Amino acid sequence: MFNSLRPNSLGELLEIIDNGDYYIFAGGTDLFIRKRQWQGAERKFDKDVVFISHLEELRGIFEDRNYYRLKTCVTQDEVANSDLLPDYLRIPYGLMGNPAIRNTATVGGNIVNAAMVADSLPLFYALDAVIVLKSIQGDRILSIRDFILGRYKTDRYENEIMYEVIIPKEDFTGYRYKKIGSRKSSILSKLSVFMVYRKAHGKIVDIRVSVGAVNDVPIRSEEAEKEFIKDNNLDKFLLTIREMMEGEDDRRSTKLYREEIGLRIIKNFLEEVMEE
């Protein structure tokens, strides 16, 4: 048996999670599936469950001069159809899961779950996003890289809620995104590549490339990006990324495919951008 709690406010939520260990249930598209044991029987929750998706304080997409802010319970569909957000966020969100999943699954869930196949993480890595965690003691602000510790591992304390993700606004010239799954829809990625860039006077002045679903966490090398801006040496850039790849054979794909095709996509993206 387990208890279900439904706090009436963010304050109440923070009180609750400060006094015990809970499953925090937002969209539930992953958690609810993972905890099943037999259709018609109780879910196997070994801790009490606290529901949060009804809390208005955890919803909404905002912008100010320098940042976009996505609250944790914003659904994937709300991102995909937002009037505020740029295409480089909207389009990848529109390719996640399927319509039913996107209407329920949340921005926060995809991040906190920290699955290697989480499609939002490569975006946030490339965009230098920041995670805001709230607890009764106050806020903690971490870069996405410091927040994600590994496969299914984050730096969230038990008494914290992931409150929002903050994305710096940049004047990008364009973006590229490629997600590959074993079918066209309703599928977890076996590989994804995200790139944003800025060009000035025909030269690349900012480039960010991240690769998802190959390693436990997204691959990105700021060092290699800086070098590339200086020398435009594509082979050198690809070599650095190749050396960072630790793909595996699993039921979705092969190490060879993930690594080779990941590099082919990056090469193609960069060549396109250089020629533009």
Partner 1 sequence: MKIRDRICRVDSVEKINGKVRYIEDIDFENLHFARTLRSGIAKGEILSIDYPEIPDGIWVVDASDTPVNEVLMIKGDMPVFADKTVNYIGEPIALIVGKDKQQVIEFMNGIVVNYRKDEGIFHIDECRGHEDMTYSSYEYQKGDIGELDYDDTFEKVYSTGYQEQLYMEKQGLVGEYSDNIVTIHGSMQCPYYIKNALIHCTELPGDNIRVIQNTTGGAFGGKEEYPSLMACQLAVAAMKIKAPVELIFDRREDILYTTKRHPSQTRIKTYLKERRIVGMAFTYELDGGPYWGLTDVVLQRGILTLTGCYNIENVKVEGKAYKTNNIFTGAFRGFGAPQSMFALEQHMNQLARYLNKDPIEFRRQYFVKKGDISATSGVFNETIMLQEMADKLEKMSDYEEIKNKKDYYHGVGVAFIPHGGGFTGDGEASHIKAVVNLKKDESGSVHILVSSVEMGQGAKTVLAKIVASALDIGIDRIVYDDPDTFKVPDSGPTVASRTTMVVGGLLYKAARKLKPLMSQKGEVLVTETFKQPDNIKWDQTQLRGNAYLSYSWAAVIAEVEVDPITFEIKCTNIHGVYDVGLPIDEDTFIGQVHGGVAQGVGYGMLEVMESIDGLIQQNSFSSYSVPTMADMPRMYTDWIYNPYKEGPYGAKAAGELTLVGVAPAIASAVQDAIGIEINDLPVTSEKILAEVLR
Options 47, 205, 256, 276; binder of partner 1; rule CB under 8 A: 256
Using an 8 Å Cβ cutoff, are 41 and 67 in contact? Answer: no
Rounded to the nearest whole angstrom, what is the least distance from the CB of residue 45 to partner 1 in the complex?
A: 12
Site string for partner 1, 21-60 (x = CB under 8 A): ---------------xxxxxxx------------------
How would DSSP label each residue in 55-94?
-GGG--EEE-SSEEEEETT-BHHHHHT-SSS-HHHHHHHH
Cα separation, 15 vs 104, in Å, equals: 25
| Residue (19 or 98) nearer to partner 1, CB | 98
Among 220, 214, 144, residue whose Cα is nearest residue 179? 214
Options 98, 137, 143, 233; binder of partner 1; rule CB under 8 A: 98
Rounded to the nearest whole angstrom, what is the least distance from the CB of residue 136 to partner 1 in the complex?
A: 34
- Phi, psi for 207 (deg, rounded to 5): -145, 135
Local structure of 124: helix, strand or coil: helix
Options 31, 115, 136, 187; binder of partner 1; rule CB under 8 A: 187
Range 125-164, binding partner 1 (CB under 8 A) = none
What are the residues binding partner 1 (CB under 8 A)? 36-42, 98, 178, 180-188, 251-254, 256-257, 260-261, 264-265, 268
